[in-house]
Each structure stands twice: as structure tokens, then as C-alpha cells.
């Protein structure tokens, strides 16, 4: 897969640091174009309603990403492919951060994706997600901040 754009160089650098499995960076050039491995499989978007337990693996993978201080930035089930295991794709909005706030926002975005696309299994999937995510360093601190993030969002439009 070939991508071009201003975020290409940043995405290429991040891809080299993303815990595996992840799309393998094949090449990059000075014109901010990157070529990466194509990941075969099905989008988790098309599977999660029938298999909400897949969310546990999503939680485990996100915990590894966050322990590496990488924020995905667009954590939806459309950006995950299940081959032999779940692989996160599309790191165009990703960035490095040690901030608990950024990790909490990543989870909040995933939860919003569950509520909009997978509303019939959102409770079961989120519970499975948290079971997997518990392996992250600073779990309690991140969960506390997530509550604050969600409260801000809830009252923002009133």
C-alpha cells in the first residue's frame, strides 16, 4: 500500500516503533511517500457484532501500544484487520505521548466507535476490551482520566 502526504514521514517513523503485529514499512522517500505491507484478512468492523469477544484482543493490543507511548488517534474497528490476530492499521493520526490524557482519549474514541457502529454488542465488547487493556501500565490512572474525559464530552454540548 502506498500513501502520500504531509503525515507520511511521521507515520513511517512511528510504524518502525509500533509493537508487532503491525503493517511492515517497506520503503519511504524524501517526498513523504511511504510503502507498507498489505495486511490480508477481514476488517474487525465486519466481525465484532458476531464476535464481541474480539474486543479483549483489541484491549491487549492497545495496552502494548500505550505502553510504548504510542497513541493511535483513530481507533475504530475499520482500522483493525483480523488475519491470524488483530492488526491495527492507519497510523496517520498517531503520535508519541506519555500523557495519561492522550491514552484516555484513545480509549474514549474506541468506546464512541463501539456505540455508533456496534451498539448491539457495545456493553459486552467494552467489558472484553477492558479485560484485555488491564495489562497496561498505569491502568487505574488511565481509567480515572477516562472518566474525566467522558464527563467533559457529556456536558460540552449543554
Q: Is 74 in the active site?
A: yes
Catalytic residue among 74, 83, 90, 102: 74
Say if CB 3 and CB 28 are below 8 A apart: no
* Segments making up each domain of the chain, as ranges: 39-156
What pTM did the predictor assign?
A: 0.88
pLDDT per position as a tens digit, 34-49: 788 889 999 999 999 9
Read off the pLDDT band of 30 (50, 70, 90). low
Q: What angle do CA 16, 18, 19 make, to 5 degrees?
A: 120
**If DSSP codes are grouped into helix, strand and coil, which group holds residue 117?**
helix
Q: Which CATH fold would you assign to the domain 39-156?
A: Transferase(Phosphotransferase); domain 1 (1.10.510)
pLDDT tens profile 117-134: 999 999 999 999 999 999
112 and 39 Cβ atoms separated by less than 8 Å: no
Predicted local distance difference test score (pLDDT) of residue 40: 93
- pLDDT at residue 8 is higher than 80: no
Amino acid at each position: 500500500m502506498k500513501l502520500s502526504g504531509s503525515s507520511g514521514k511521521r507515520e513511517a517513523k512511528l510504524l518502525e516503533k509500533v509493537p508487532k503485529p503491525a503493517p511492515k514499512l517497506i520503503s519511504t522517500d524524501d517526498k513523504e511517500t511511504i510503502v507498507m505491507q498489505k495486511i490480508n484478512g477481514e476488517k474487525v468492523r465486519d466481525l465484532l457484532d458476531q464476535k464481541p469477544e474480539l474486543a479483549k484482543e483489541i484491549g491487549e493490543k492497545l495496552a502494548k501500544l500505550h505502553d510504548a507511548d504510542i497513541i493511535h488517534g483513530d481507533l475504530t474497528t475499520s482500522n483493525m484487520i483480523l488475519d491470524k490476530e488483530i492488526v491495527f492499521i492507519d497510523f496517520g493520526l498517531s503520535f508519541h505521548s506519555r500523557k495519561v490524557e492522550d491514552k484516555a482519549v484513545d480509549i474514549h474514541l474506541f468506546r464512541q466507535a463501539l456505540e455508533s457502529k456496534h451498539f448491539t454488542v457495545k456493553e459486552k465488547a467494552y467489558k472484553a476490551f477492558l479485560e484485555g487493556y488491564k495489562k497496561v501500565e498505569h491502568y487505574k490512572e488511565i481509567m480515572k482520566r477516562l472518566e474525566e474525559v467522558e464527563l467533559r464530552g457529556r456536558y460540552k454540548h449543554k
